[in-house]
Structure 1
Amino acid sequence: MSYQIKIPSCIFGGAGSIENVKAVIEKENAKKVIIFTDKGIRSTGLLDLLTDILEENKTEYQVFDDLACEPSYQDVEKVMKEVENTSGDLIIAIGGGSVMDAAKLCCVLKDADYTIKDLLNDPMLAKKQIKTVMIPTTCGTGSEATCNAIVAVPEEQSKKGIVNDSMIPDYVVLDSNMIRKLPKSIVAATGVDALAHVVECFTSKKATPFSDTYAAAGAKLIFHNIREAYNNPDNMEAKSNMMTGAFYGGVAITGSGTTAVHALSYPLGGKYHIAHGVSNAILFAHVMEFNKDACSKRLAILCDAVYPELAGKSEDEKAQYMIDQIADIVKVTNIPTDLKEFGVKPEDLDFLVDAGSKQQRLLVNNMKELSLDDIRNIYLKVLK
């Protein structure tokens, strides 16, 4: 068996590491920068940390901040039309997963002879047109490390991933100052999303020794820091560890891939606009409980990496402990776990089952095959 992993070529970390943008601009000889962000980031003043550096450096820039949260491919098309009218030789994204995904799509769409619709049909068409710098402002999506961009497809009332190695970012800045004032609800949702990445990648059919290394390291950081990062917002060590763990989760995705948790969450985001991290959190423990008999050995190995003090427990006890920890983290971080709170009705069940079953890109990674009845039973657990 041969395997590979692809990661960004240069990663900066630590508080204040945004200053490294100067060196990147110099290395790339960038005269004008295209910035992707959103109005929320602009309002917090985080964008100013970047633009102040660019102005001090006398680097021209143009900001695109009209990005929808969890955008549809039409939203990306709209922004791309504006971007096409500007020149630029480097893209910098400062924001959460939606902002970074849009920037990654721009890096393969700008001046290309294919469209985002073409990429939805055939992601292999994508070719990098312009280099990228990713500056995440949450501690969870891992988008700064991956070759994936997720967009909503309204006509299917679901989401779809465009996956191509050309979208792996060139530079990443993991500056913990970016999440210093992150709202607790976003620490929770993005943190559990990152937790799903590492656990799913470790228990994926496509897991490799490379992806396992990053998934296990990420799991150790996230399991041990997410409660503290949520409960004590001033604990910057915990938040910094979450940011690093989320990055490791993103790297694990490029070598392995997520599974049924993410697959079944896509219709929840696509139709009901439930935040991606929240929809994963709702399903996470239930899917892992379903998977347990097929991946108890893998969960036990992960438990040994995260909680070595439990070495004397049985394989089944370790696997169950990991699932119980997942459920407890979702509870402690106050993420709602009943779909009815989001307007999902029992009569929507047939749609969810059908839409979830179509997410074959991820379902084929799941250790245990899911029948339509299995999918139905998982959704029923969260339609209380």
Structure 2
Amino acid sequence: MSYQIKIPSYTCGGEGCIENVPAIIEKEHAKKIMVFTDKGIRSTGLLDGLTKILDETAAEYKIFDDLTPEPAYQDVERVMDEAAQYEGDFIIAIGGGSVMDAAKLCSVLKGASYTVKDLLKDPAIAEKQIKTLMIPTTCGTGSEATCNAIVAIPEEQSKKGIVNDNMIPDYVFLDSQMIRKLPKAIIAATGVDALAHVVECFTSKKATPFSDSYAMAGAKLIFHNIREAYGDADNMEAKNNMMLGAFYGGVAITGSGTTAVHALSYPLGGKYHIAHGVSNAILFAHVMEFNKDACKERLAVLCDGVFPEFATKSVDEKADYMIGQIADIVKVTNIPTDLTEFGVKMEDLDFLVQAGSDQKRLLVNNMKELSLDDIREIYLKVLK
């Protein structure tokens, strides 16, 4: 069996690394830059550091900040219409997953004859039109490394991933200054999302030696730093490690793919607008418990790498320990574990089961097949 992995061609890390942005602009001979962000990022002042740097270059720039969290494809189309009016030749995205996903879509849509709706039907038609630079402002989506863009589909009350290698970013800057003042709730949600990426990719049917290497490296960083990054706002070492771990998780996704945790979380975001990381966190331990008999050996290998002090334990003990760690991290970071807090009712169960089962792109990666009854039982555990 052959296998591959694709990663951004240039990645820069460390506090203050966005100071290197002018060198990239010069290298790419960029004259008109499209800056993707959102109003939340602008209100925190995070964008100011970037615009100050851009003001010192010879390039023009235009800011596109009318981006909504967890955007529907219609939201993306609206922003693309605005972007079409600007003759941009380079894209910089500074924000979370939704901002970076929109920027990646713009990189294959600007000047193209196809639309977002066309890509939902056939992602393979996408071709890169403009190069991109990603500056994540959370520690979890991994969007800065992936070829995926997730959009909500309101008429289906769910979400769908558009996947094409041409959307892999060209440049990535992992600057922990971007998350120095990140609210604890966002550290929790995005951090657990990153944890789901590495665990799911390591236990995916499509896992390869390449994806395993990145997933393992990410798991070591995230398991050992998420509590500290959440609990101590001044622990920049932990936050830097979380950014790196999230990036590794994104790279692992391109080589392997997430599984049933993400599949079952999509309807929660699509219909109830629960933040992506939170919906993953609610389901995470329950899905892994369901999967355990099919992937306990893989969880044991992950345990050996992340917690070598448990080397003498049995495979079952190691698998249970990893699932217990996941549950504990969700608890320590104060993420809700009950869907009723978000207005989800028992009468919504049939919708959830059907919508979750429709996420074939991810469910085929799961080591254990899920019947409709299995999916129902998992959702029932979080509808208390």
Query: TM-score, length-normalised on structure 1?
Result: 1.00
1:181 counterpart SS class: coil
Give the partner amino acid of 1:113: S
The one-letter code sitting in structure 1 at the alignment partner of 2:68 is A
Distance across 2 between alignment mates of 1:32 and 1:82: 15
Task: After the TM superposition, list the runs of 4 or more consecutive aligned residues in structure 1 that deviate by more than 2 angstroms.
Answer: none
Instruction: Give the drift of 1:318.
Output: 0.3
User: What SS is found at the alignment partner of 2:128?
Assistant: coil
- 1:315-334 matches, cutoff 5 A: 315-334=315-334
Residue 150 of structure 2 aligns to a residue whose secondary structure is strand
Which residue matches 2:171? 171
Residue in structure 1 matched with residue 56 of structure 2 by the alignment:
56
- Kindly provide the amino acid, as one letter, of the partner of residue 61 in structure 1: Y
Q: Does 2:246 align with 1:246?
A: yes
Whole-Å separation in 1 of the counterparts to 2:75 and 2:48: 25
1:348-376 Cα shifts (integer Å, max 9, x gaps): 00000000000000000000000000000
Aligned mates of 2:88, 2:231 — CA distance in 1: 42
2:377 aligned partner: 377
Matched to 1:340, the amino acid is T
Query: Which residue pairs with 1:92 in the alignment?
Result: 92
Whole-Å Cα distance in 2 between the matches of residues 47 and 36 of structure 1? 10
Structure 1: distance between partners of 2:163 and 2:334: 32
What letter corresponds to residue 352 of structure 1 in structure 2? Answer: L
CA distance in 1 between counterparts of 2:275 and 2:370 reads 24
Secondary structure at 1:160 match in 2: strand
C-alpha displacement at 1:88, in angstroms?
Answer: 1.0
Count of paired positions: 384
2:142 matched to 1:142? yes
- Classify the secondary structure of the residue corresponding to 1:246: helix
Distance in 2, matches of 1:4 and 1:58, equals: 39
**Partners of 1:57 and 1:267 in 2: how far apart?**
44
Q: Aligned equivalents of 2:100 and 2:71: distance in 1?
A: 11
Report the Cα distance in structure 2 between the residues aligned to 1:55 and 1:139, rounded to whole angstroms. 27
Question: Which residue identity is paired with 2:302?
Answer: L
Question: Could you tell me how far 1:223 is from its partner in structure 2?
Answer: 0.1
Residue 154 (structure 1) aligns with: 154
Counterpart of 2:67, as a letter, is L
Distance 1:233 1:188 in 2: 12
- Give yes or no for the alignment of 1:225 onto 2:225: yes
Taking the aligned partners of 2:58 and 2:115, their CA distance within structure 1 comes to 33
Query: Helix, strand or coil for the counterpart of 2:135?
Result: strand
Inter-partner Cα distance in structure 2 for 1:175 and 1:60: 23
1:66 maps to which residue?
A: 66
Distance 1:383 1:2 in 2: 42
Aligned to 1:272: 272
Question: Residue type matched to 1:274 in 2?
Answer: I
* 1:228 Cα deviation after fit: 0.4
2:44 is the counterpart of 1:44: yes
Measure, in 1, the Cα distance between the counterparts of 2:19 and 2:205: 40
Counting only pairs closer than 5 Å after superposition, residues 1-384 of structure 1 correspond to structure 2 as 1-384=1-384
Q: What is the CA-CA distance between 1:58 and the residue it aligns to?
A: 2.7
CA distance in 1, matches of 2:256, 2:89: 32
User: Structure 2: how far apart are the matches of 1:63 and 1:367?
Assistant: 43
Any idea what SS the aligned residue of 1:71 has? coil
Counterpart CA distance in 2 for 1:381 and 1:288 is 13
| Identity over aligned pairs, percent | 82
2 CA distance for matches of 1:101 and 1:82? 16
| Paired residue secondary structure (1:309) | helix
Q: Which moved more, 1:54-63 or 1:286-295?
A: 54-63
Letter matched to residue 312 of structure 2: G
Q: Aligned partner of 1:39: which letter?
A: K
* Unaligned runs of at least 5 residues, structure 2: none
Q: What SS is found at the alignment partner of 1:63?
A: strand
How far off is 1:32 after superposition? 1.0
The residue identity in structure 2 corresponding to 1:208 is T
Deviations, residues 29-58 of structure 1 (Å, cap 9, x unaligned) = 001100000001111111111111111113
SS of 2:24's equivalent in the other structure is helix
CA distance, structure 1, for counterparts of residue 95 and residue 42 of structure 2: 10
Unpaired runs of at least 5, structure 1: none
Measured in 2, the distance between the counterparts of 1:35 and 1:329 equals: 34
User: 1:32-88 CA distances to partner (integer Å, 9 max, x unpaired)?
Assistant: 100000001111111111111111113210000000001000000000000000011
Deviation track 1:112-133 (CA, whole Å, cap 9, x = no partner) reads 0000000000000100000000
TM-align CA RMSD:
0.4
Letter aligned with residue 107 of structure 1: S
SS of aligned partner of 2:5: coil
Q: Distance in 1 between matches of 2:192 and 2:263?
A: 15
